[in-house]
Amino acid sequence: MLIRHRGATPVVDPTAYVAPNATLVGDVRVGAHARVMYGAVLDAEGAHVEVGPYTIVSEHAVLRATAVTAAVVELGDHVFVGPHATVLGARVGRCAYLAANATVLQLARLGAGASVAVGGLVHARTVLPNEFFVPPHTTAVGDPVEVFGSDRSEELAAAIAGAGFADAAFGVRAGWTDRINRYREAAEVRSAEYAAHADDEVVR
């Protein structure tokens, strides 16, 4: 399904394939020979989502940009985005591999050939060098990047606090320990952003 949002209509190269129940919203650009599979959602939210040539977006993956923090989604050529993977306002270099249930957060940058294994998380503003590997069920944070497993939960919490996720994702600057206000402000930001969907128009 292609949906016009904020005056922008998705553009799909004639050689690409978009599954009939995939949803493309707003300024989404799908390149030559790309494949967007069943149940995937590509939502530009006033920014843009770009899927490079020969890139695969697997079943039920979510790619979401946001204009709130100018966090676009850009996937280079020959990228693989696995089933149920999520890319929120991040740039992914060519030939990168995101396995099933991988997550990449706002303003992260993945170099060419970077790989995020099953269940891996690349946190906000993190930079992965070319061909960097994030092991299964670990979290990559920072620039330079550091990878944390579940055995380092206290260090991971400190690294995440320093990543400034709420600012990167929502433009919210409430303190790390001020969770109620941070979450309240974040919900209000998204509520205002999503209000624009009231004027969406299905074009195909």
Question: Scanning the structure block, which residue is given the tokens 């690409």?
Answer: 16
Give the chain's domains with CATH numbers: 2-160 (2.160.10.10)
CA 114/CA 49 separation, integer angstroms: 19
Mean of all residue pLDDT scores within the chain:
96
CA 183/CA 172 separation, integer angstroms: 9
CA 57/CA 30 separation, integer angstroms: 10
Q: In the structure, what pLDDT confidence band is assigned to residue 20 with cuts at 50, 70 and 90?
A: very high
What residues have CB less than 8 Å from 78, skipping those under 6 apart?
52, 53, 54, 55, 94, 95
- Mean pLDDT lowest among 43-57, 69-83, 146-160: 146-160
Averaged pLDDT, 75-80: 98
The pLDDT tens digits of the residues spanning 101-149 come to 999 999 999 999 999 999 999 999 999 999 999 999 999 999 999 999 9
Residue percentage of the chain with pLDDT more than 70: 100
